[in-house]
Every structure is written in structure tokens, then in C-alpha cells.
Chain A
Amino acid sequence: MRFMTFAKRNTKEIIRDPLNLMFGLAFPIVILLIFTAIQSNVSESIFMIETLSPGVAVFGLSFISLFSGLLVAKDRDNSFLMRLFASPLTASDYICGYTLPLIPMAIIQSIVCFIASIFLGLSVNVNLLIGLLVLIPTGLIFIGLGLLCGSLFNEKQVGGVCGALLTNICAWFSGAWFDISLIGGVYEKVAYLMPFSHAVDITRAAIIGDYNAIFPQIWWVIVYAVVINVVAIYVFNKKISGKNI
């Protein structure tokens, strides 16, 4: 159970960083408040809470990549990982230790987003639980991306790739704030080749209780989650094997 010790340490590292708390919890709530305020001042139904809340939940999860990527990159930068690589920890201990703490964090983040949405008018029913469930594979995508980026890049690069590039891609190609079909064409096709738009669509379907609409889009998200995590674990293991420490 060495991975549990390592996982506890990683949890402490993440939650003790005020920037993580700000981006992970406060920022999505601020977005919800801003868009709801805009909606209250316009007559058209642009940012209805049923469609906005799932979008913000998916977008909020993109910051999980930043947390996990920065943690791995910082450990590599200050030689902490070198110390651990010389210890009896095994490859599976590292993978579990880095990823497992982020799963409850992702769920808590989604719960906070939904609770904030309830105060802004979202109905409380069992569909919210289904919404949380379908967000788990999305969370795994971002956890895997963080592990991958942390294995490949340094702290500064992870900040750029996960903190700027990934969050922007997720924001613009997920349909979190607007209907992608309104733009259509190549933009829509590209958006639906990525997992983020599917993630937002299935969460919206879950929230309104349209369970049939969850399929087959959820398979896009699950396949992306599996592929990204397999690649991340492969790359991380390559590092552990000592070829690129």
C-alpha cells in the first residue's frame, strides 16, 4: 500500500496550493455567476442554467490537467522524482499515487459546480447524480493529459500547455458557452473529433434526463480517456525506466 502514502502526499501538495483552489473551485463558480448575470439581462435564452452548468463543469475539469501536470513537472524539476525513482516504489505505485487523488478532486469539483448551479436555478433531482457519473470519464481524460504533460514538459511548459492551450481548446471546442452548430462547417467537425464537445453534450443529456442521448457520444469520451491514459502511463513508465531522467 505504498501508493497510498504517495497519494496522500500528492493530495496535500495539490490542496495546499491556493492557485489550485482558486482555479479548481472559485473560477468555475465565477463563470457561472457572470453568464447567469448576462442571461438575466437579455430576453433570449442564451445561457440557461441547464445548458450552462454542464459546460462549466466540463471546462472546470480542464484545470485538473494543470494540477496533475504541474505536480509531476515540479517533482521532476526539483529532483524529488529522482529520489522516489531510487526508492522501492514501483511503476504502478507512481501511476496510482499521481492519478487516484485527482478522481475524488474531480468529483468534488463537479459537485461544487452543481451546488452553485442549484442556487442559480438548476433543478435538484436524480439526474444530477447521473450527470456526475458521466463526468467521471471526462475527468479521467484531463487526469491522463496532466500526467502526460507532466512527464514530457517542465513546469513552465506545463503552465503553457495545460494552463493556456488546453483550457482554451476546451473552452472554444466544447460548446460550453455557445451552440457549436451555430458556427457549423469545419469548426463543428473539428469540435466533434475532440472529446470535449461530446463530454458537454452527454452531461447536458444526463442533467435533463434524456438518457438515450448519452449514447453513443459517451463512447467517444470513454475511448479518449482510455487511449490518453494508456499513452500517459506508457510515457511515464519510459521515464521511470531511466532513459530520460
Chain B
Amino acid sequence: MNAIKINNLSKSYKGKFAVKNINMEIKAGELFALLGMNGAGKTTTIKMLSCLTPPTSGDAYLLGDSILNNPQKVKEKINVSPQETAVARNLSVKENLELIARIYGSDKKTAKIKAEEMIMIFNLTEVAKAKTKTLSGGFQRRLSIAMSLISNPKILFLDEPTLGLDVIARRELWSVIKKLKTEMTIVLTTHYLEEVEALADRVGIMAKGELKATGTVSELNLLAQVDKFEDAFIKLATDMEVNI
């Protein structure tokens, strides 16, 4: 079953395409990585899929609902962790988590329980009562992702989740994301190749707003006729337009 079906999705600003004619399907329970350099169109694609920016043309269906015709239904099923840390700065870690749980419909008691769960999963116990503006970047990023999970979304968009994190914090986050795989459909954007290799079931390579290739890491290596994924990425992002 497809969780996401994208039909000819495009976004242009003043005639210049940020995303051009994307067609793609993402299966339920899959972790799909959108890989590309800065300005490739990854974030714009995520913004369109999460109803933050209307497409210039085309449409996408998330678990059957159109982002154009049924954005409110789509929003109830998804959650987003934006590229920049997105937290309420004068609220504590626990309050931030409870806030998002309640916005997505949990009652007060359930929101508290869910917040406690997230605090445990993301190792935030020591800072649970601290105002988020006092936290380190790593803790803020962890909280930001925990906030996107507390609503139990069916589809989760993680926009460059490990950007700016040190190696240890990145590995910790990878382990959390690995645990989440299969529980929900995850679309992750990144420009870290090792992140893709460690986490993704399938990969979409974007360049200059276009989807250049999709497939598993080994399929893309095979397609590009190289052994290393880095070489495959460079070759596919610059030369070819193919799908597996």
C-alpha cells in the first residue's frame, strides 16, 4: 500500500522552478530519504507534501487524501520536524511536548502520559523541566523531533534532522529513527550520504528541482555502475534521469 503518491508536482517562484514535475510513490512503513545538495528542492518538496506551501501544479495524495483538496485531513495524519529547531522558547521541555499533543487532540491526561514517554525515549529526563531556550542545540533538536512524534503521525517528515549535530548526537538520533522505522512512514531529507546508507529503505536523488533517480542504495550503485554510494550520487545527480 502506498502512503504517498505524487503526481507531476511542481513549484515555481517567478517562473523559476524550485521543484519540477516530480512523480513518485512511497510505500507505507517505508523510510524514504530525499537526498540532494543545498537548493536541490528537498525542503520545498516536504513543504508541499505537508501542506505548508501550495504547489504551482500537480498534486499529491497522503494516505488517500489530496494536499490540494483535503489539506485539513492530511494535517491530522502527518507531523513535521522543520529544518530549523522549532520549539516554544519560554516553555519547558515537558510543556512543549504537552502543547503539541493537545493541539493534535489529546486530552490533558493523555498529553501528560505521551510527554513522559517521549522524554524517556529521547533521553530528555534531565532537562524535562528546563526552559528550552536554555538547552544546548543537541537537546533542542531532540526535543524538536520528539514534538513531531508525540502525535503518533502516520507519516513523518524529517527535514535535515541531524543538521548541525555532533557525531554522538547524530548517532543517538539515528538509533531513535531506526526504532521508529516500520511504525510509520518517514520521509527524511538530508545531504549526508552516510545517513542515507544507515537509515533509508529507498532513496530519491534530487538535483536542480528534479528527481533524478529513485531506488535502494545498492540499486542506485548498480544503476550508476559504481561501488561507492558517494560516486553513485555524484553521477546520478549530475548526469542521468532514471528510475528503478
A88 lies within 8 A of chain B by Cβ: yes
- The docked-state distance in angstroms from the alpha carbon of A83 to that of B100 is 9
Residue of A nearest to B54 (CB): A242
Interface magnitude class on chain A: 20 to 34
- CB contacts (< 8 Å) of A245 on chain B: these are 47, 52-53
- CB contacts (< 8 Å) of B76 on chain A: these are 88
Q: Say yes or no: A86 contacts B84, CB within 8 Å.
A: no
Q: Say yes or no: A82 contacts B80, CB within 8 Å.
A: yes
Q: How many A-B residue pairs have CB under 8 A?
A: 83
- From B53, B79, B88, A9 is in contact (CB under 8 Å) with B88
- CB contacts (< 8 Å) of B63 on chain A: these are none
Provide the B71-105 mask, 1 if CB < 8 A to any CB of A, else 0.
Answer: 01001101111111111111100010001101111
Q: Say yes or no: B91 contacts A12, CB within 8 Å.
A: yes
Min CB gap A183→B, angstroms: 42
- CB contacts (< 8 Å) of A79 on chain B: these are 82-86
Residue of B nearest to A13 (CB): B90
B50 lies within 8 A of chain A by Cβ: yes
- CB contacts (< 8 Å) of A83 on chain B: these are 80-82, 86, 100, 147-148
Q: Say yes or no: B85 contacts A6, CB within 8 Å.
A: no
Q: How many residues of B contact A (CB 8 A)?
A: 35
- CB contacts (< 8 Å) of A6 on chain B: these are 99, 103
- CB contacts (< 8 Å) of B52 on chain A: these are 82, 85-86, 242, 245
B135 lies within 8 A of chain A by Cβ: no
Q: Say yes or no: A13 contacts B54, CB within 8 Å.
A: no
The verdict on A87 contacting B91 (CB below 8 Å), with A245-B47, A245-B52 known, is no
Q: Say yes or no: B78 contacts A13, CB within 8 Å.
A: no
Q: Say yes or no: A242 contacts B51, CB within 8 Å.
A: yes
Min CB gap A172→B, angstroms: 32
Min CB gap A177→B, angstroms: 33
Residue of B nearest to A77 (CB): B84
Min CB gap A86→B, angstroms: 4
- From A9, A17, A80, A86, B75 is in contact (CB under 8 Å) with A86
Min CB gap A174→B, angstroms: 31
A125 lies within 8 A of chain B by Cβ: no
Q: Which B positions have Cβ atoms within 8 angstroms of A?
A: 47, 50-54, 72, 75-76, 78-91, 95, 99-100, 102-105, 131, 147-148, 151, 157
Instruction: Please provide the 6 A-B residue pairs with the shortest distance between their CB atoms, ordered closest to farther.
Output: A79-B86, A79-B84, A83-B86, A79-B82, A16-B90, A86-B80
